[in-house]
Amino acid sequence: MEETDEHGGRTLIQSVVSGGDNTYDIYASSYYGSSILAADGLFLDLYNVKNLDTTREYWSQYYIDKSQIGKGLYTITGDLAVSATRFLFVTFFNKDLVKEYQINDPYKMVADGTWTYDTMLATVKSIYKDVNSDGERDENDFYGMGVNNYLGVDAYTSAFNIPTITINSDKQAEICLNYEKYADVVDKLYTLFWKTEGVLNKQDPDHLATLFSQNTLIFSQSWLYNCESYDMRDMASDYGIIPYPKYNEQQSEYYSFGHDQITIFAVPKTTSQADAAGAVLEVMSATSRSTVIDQYYEMALKGRYARDEESVQMLDMIRSNFLLDTGWIYCESTNLMSRMLRTLIEAKSKNFSSYYQKYRESFEASVKDLNNAFAGLDEEN
């Protein structure tokens, strides 16, 4: 076993496979960092790996549906990856401050289907105090909400259901962008992130968790694993957990986003022990379902970090309503198309039209190249 950072691991496995080295039998990394390697032909088709049953419940059939282009399957994830839960994005709220500011019960808003972008904005937009009276809006002040203008923007692509790429019935990737809706989302988030007095905008989601634990924010949007931090574990005020808001009340469900660092697994094509690798992955995933997932999700997350029964119910919904855009899986292979929202908001721009027109041809060409790459692998296999 060798542990590296994401970029080091990618460089290592590229070097190993291109050199015909059979040192490694299993490769594990984020789907952001690994899927481009699958398209480059570094991994075995998992459908041809003995002892690996990709139809079992501990493998994510949803991920398979969203990632398989052509006939072969080259990466997989499931209960072996606890990151699939830890890296979900959620909205935390301070229960004491919600009561103090006479804000409607967030749990009830979710249940009623009224926890939407408009409701969220109306709730937090005017809640701001210049605590130290220095005339500057900074983290030393008090806000209705804290947001993250980097990874936190990505979560809205799922929350508002604006995918960029899908897999069609022929197992081909194709662009599925709802242009008008995407442009409207850009406008909405530009307002939320850059034009709302009651919103603190920070790039580091972990730092938001610290500020939230200090009663600086009523609401905070971040990834779920922040509730494991010492700051939130020791937080004196009670907090609750709800999903990101819906785009509008007509949206049927609350959708959650899993960060692209969720771990996926592959078998390098140079391995001399493919059957053994398949057996190891199978046993580890099956065992993880009954041990690690149970201990983390049922015991730690629900039992220790969730502070009320309503949060437990919310966690079940958030986990069940994970929405994955194929564009995120193949982000690097498709000219970062799925990152458009983040790119624009981070740049303080709402000019989606000119941005998309500038890159549209390259997006279309990259998707075509991606399909061709997997078609070539189908021919090899």
Residue 365 maps to a domain: no
Q: Residue 335 carries which side chain, given as an amino acid letter?
A: N
**pLDDT recorded at residue 1:** 54
**pLDDT recorded at residue 5:** 55
Residue 314 maps to a domain: no
78 and 183 assigned to the same domain: no
**pLDDT recorded at residue 205:** 77
102 and 189 assigned to the same domain: yes
Low-confidence stretches of the chain (pLDDT < 70) are 1-8
Q: What's the pLDDT tens digit per position in 142-160?
A: 999 999 988 899 999 999 9
Cα separation of 173 and 368, whole Å?
A: 8
Residue 95 maps to a domain: yes
167 and 232 assigned to the same domain: yes
Residue 338 maps to a domain: yes
- Half-sphere exposure of residue 170, counting CA atoms within 13 Å on the CB side? 6
Residue 267 maps to a domain: yes
Query: What DSSP character marks residue 301?
Result: I
Cα separation of 235 and 265, whole Å?
A: 36
Q: How far apart are the first and last CA of the chain?
A: 28
148 and 63 assigned to the same domain: no
Residue 369 maps to a domain: no
Q: Which residues, in sequence order, are bridge partners of residue 263?
A: 30
Q: What's the pLDDT tens digit per position in 203-244?
A: 777 889 999 999 999 999 999 989 888 888 889 999 999 999
**How many structural domains comprise the chain?**
2
78 and 93 assigned to the same domain: no
Residue 40 maps to a domain: yes
264 and 247 assigned to the same domain: no
17 and 102 assigned to the same domain: no
Long-range pairs for 301-310: beta carbons < 8 A, 24 or more residues apart:
301/85, 301/224, 301/227, 304/233, 305/227, 305/228, 305/232, 305/233, 306/227, 306/241, 307/238, 307/239, 307/240, 308/238, 308/240, 310/107, 310/240
Cα separation of 96 and 119, whole Å?
A: 20
**pLDDT recorded at residue 7:** 59
Residue 229 contacts by C-beta under 8 Å, 6 or more apart in sequence?
206, 209, 210, 213
Quick one: tokens of 4? 């590296």
The residue range of the domain holding 146 is 86-257+333-360
pTM, full prediction: 0.94
**pLDDT recorded at residue 297:** 78
Residue 1 maps to a domain: no
Nearest residue to 29 via CA among 375, 263, 362, 258: 263
Handedness of CA 71, 74, 78, 84 (dihedral sign): negative
Q: 143 by DSSP, 3-state: which?
A: strand
Q: What's the pLDDT tens digit per position in 275-301?
A: 999 999 999 999 998 888 788 877 777
105 and 196 assigned to the same domain: yes
228 and 167 assigned to the same domain: yes
Cα separation of 157 and 186, whole Å?
A: 10
99 and 240 assigned to the same domain: yes
Q: Which residues, in sequence order, are bridge partners of residue 143?
A: 128, 217
Cα separation of 160 and 163, whole Å?
A: 9
- Half-sphere exposure of residue 202, counting CA atoms within 13 Å on the CB side? 21
113 and 31 assigned to the same domain: no
Question: For the domain that residue 50 is a member of, what is the CATH number?
Answer: 3.40.190.10
**pLDDT recorded at residue 12:** 87
**pLDDT recorded at residue 301:** 78
**pLDDT recorded at residue 140:** 93
202 and 186 assigned to the same domain: yes
